[in-house]
Amino acid sequence: MKIAILGYGKMGKEIEKIALEEKHEIISIIDKKKSLGDIKNSEVAINFCTPDSALENIFFALNHGIPVVCGTTGWLKDFDKVVEFTKEQNTAFLYSSNFSFGVNLFFKINLELAKLMKENTNYNISIKETHHIEKIDKPSGTAISLAEDIIKNSKYDNWGLNQTNEKSILSVKSERKEKVHGIHQVNYSSILDNISIRHESFSRKSFAKGALLAALWIKGKKGVFGMNDVLNF
């Protein structure tokens, strides 16, 4: 597979490493600091740039008719624009807040638990996410995805960062520490007991492998997709 990497930070470098190990070809690397190769010769673009560059990079690749797999979070206010442009260009776009198989399984468990607990309004739900200090956006895109699935199946109207007083607001807490790749925990607390589900990532390798799996899957397809389509969840 011929790949363009959009964003050459830690995730971009990890994708390059795993892609080369799996005998894929890196055709182009596009970053604020440098641009190598011609994206037009790529079969798919994998985007892990900073949030402020996401929309520009996505449009750049789609404009060349190249399918985009995007793991950048913090830009979703413009998601509808990307959906429309993908249709106009008759190509493909796949977004996920997290490409790890384990996290996507965690998403599924979180959704099913939320459905089971829908009528048990005596429980207060909260989410906590912890990441490395270099992660810019708060809360993480993964935490937002977890919150959105809970809100659809609970007493909460919205989520709020570090909010604890509003009964209609699902509290999402963010913490930044050294050398933490990603921890997400969902808590259901009542005066009688506490129920928790938790996922911890130990390296970026699982994210990179998932992104490459998505890139292989999207080749030849048209439309807008998510990781649930790739994994058939």
| Residues forming the active site | 131, 135
SS (H, E, C) 93-144: EEECCCCCHHHHHHHHHHHHHHHHCCCCCCCEEEEEEEEECCCCCCCCHHHH
Helices 101-116, 205-218: inter-axial angle, 10-degree rounding? 90
SS3 at position 199: strand
Q: How far does the chain reach from its first CA to its final CA, in angstroms?
A: 25
Which residues contact residue 51 at a Cβ distance below 8 angstroms, ignoring those fewer than 6 apart? 72, 73, 74, 75, 136, 137
Backbone angles phi, psi at 49, to 5 degrees: -85, -175
Give long-range contacts, CB 8 A cutoff, 24+ apart: 228-231.
228/104, 228/107, 229/94, 230/94, 231/101, 231/104
- 């070809």: which residue's tokens? 25
Identity of the amino acid at 28: S
Q: Tokens 């699982």: give the residue.
A: 206
For residue 110, what are its two tokens? 């979180």
Q: Give the separation between CA 153 and CA 148, rounded to whole angstroms.
A: 9
